Structure 1
Amino acid sequence: MNAYMTAGTFDFLKKIEAKYPNDLMVTMINENNALLFHETAGETVFNEPRKFEELLSIGEMKKEGFVVLNNVPVTDEGKAVFEHQVKNQIITVKSQQGFLAVRVLRPLTSSQYVIMTVWKDEASYQAWQSSQTFFDVSKLTGMDSQAKIFSSAPYVSKYMITDK
């Protein structure tokens, strides 16, 4: 499965989403910008997308929830190790209360992987942050001694999926 992301104004992205009701597109927003996620077996309609291949897909993307994007720049040498670790560890998140979906996205045009988790609400995400599972998974995104597989520091972006 392919995944694409593009940024823009919320209203503009909602118009794109509405224009393609048969495609899985989800618009999300935070205090800085809006993002449109498109999941498809084919190509995207976006003019300038970030392009990904889905390594792991758990749960259904819906038009609601709190989204956390872990952006992880990985070196070419570190990709195999990173992907192996992510596939083995990230599935543990599905048992967390308030968890809705996860997508592990391999970049096709850059070195930045994205681990997208979708939660019922921000409180569910914060509860997970206090868990041992979060500690185990966070080691995959550069918070441990394996910095040699990362090309720069990972960062997190948070969004709300909303129609308003």
Structure 2
Amino acid sequence: MKQATILEEHASLDEGILMKNNDDILVYVEAIIEHPTAKNYEIFSSTGELPASGYVVMNNIPVTEEGRATFEERFKNRAGLVETEPGFQTIRILRPLDDDTYVVVTIWDDEQSFKNWQESNSYKNAHKNRGTSAGLQTSIFPRPSFVTTYSF
């Protein structure tokens, strides 16, 4: 079934957004959807409301079953500096219900706002322990994370 059909089936959901990039269309709905192509998550942490438009960055992070508690603890105690960045709109940290991949969704005014954050001191501080003994142990990640981006 095509992505557009999913949107048509759930067009009445106020909390959904239709996101696009050069290769794909994705429907994001903050509700459990019974559909063969749906991936279901629960919102582990969130800040902000879903906006009417924006640039979406999804950091897809596979985590082992044994690593979930450690991973979630790190996000519970995060500094939250991204929320103060110019152009930031919202964040959702999604816990997987059907597989092992968490998704950290940030929505920005535009792509440039996201790039500005990546070059900021706030970003450097948020990621300062990456690759060090103070950071999360790589053994909790069964495969590399990957980023997908969309606009709506």
TM-score normalised according to structure 1 size: 0.80
- Matches for 1:13-162 after TM superposition, within 5 Å: 13-17=6-10, 19-20=11-12, 22-40=13-31, 43-44=32-33, 46-89=35-78, 91-138=80-127, 143-145=130-132, 146-161=137-152
Q: Tell me how far 1:8 sits from its aligned partner.
A: 4.6
1:32 positional shift: 1.0
- Distance in 1 (alpha carbons) for counterparts of 2:77 and 2:53: 27
The corresponding residue for 1:3 is none
SS of the residue 1:56 aligns to: strand
Percentage of pairs with the same residue: 32
Structure with the higher strand share, 1 or 2: 1
Quickly say closer, same or farther: Cα 1:30–1:13, change in 2 above 3 A: farther
Question: What is the CA-CA distance between 1:13 and the residue it aligns to?
Answer: 4.8
> Per-residue displacement from partner, 1:74-96 (whole Å, max 9, x unpaired)?
01111111111122226221111
* Residue pair 2:33, 2:40 contacting (<8 A) in 1 also: no
Give, in whole Å, the separation in 2 of the partners of 1:80 and 1:63. 33
Unaligned runs of 5+ in 1: 1-6
In 2 relative to 1, CA 90–72 (structure 1 residues): closer, same or farther, beyond 3 Å? Answer: farther
Using a 3 Å threshold, how does the CA distance of structure 1 residues 122 and 155 change in structure 2: closer, same or farther? same
- Structure 1 residue 33: deviation in Å? 0.4
CA offsets 1:107-138 (integer angstroms, 9 cap, x no match): 01100000000000001000000013223444
1:8 and 1:31, CA in 2 relative to 1: closer, same or farther beyond 3 A? farther
TM-score by length of 2: 0.86
Give the deviation of 1:97 after TM superposition: 0.6
Over the aligned positions, Cα root-mean-square deviation in angstroms equals: 2.1
Number of paired residues?
Answer: 148
Structure 1 stretches of 4+ with a deviation exceeding 6 A read: none
Counterparts of 1:89 and 1:75, CA distance in 2: 20
CA displacement at 1:16 relative to structure 2: 3.7
Higher helix content, 1 or 2 = 1
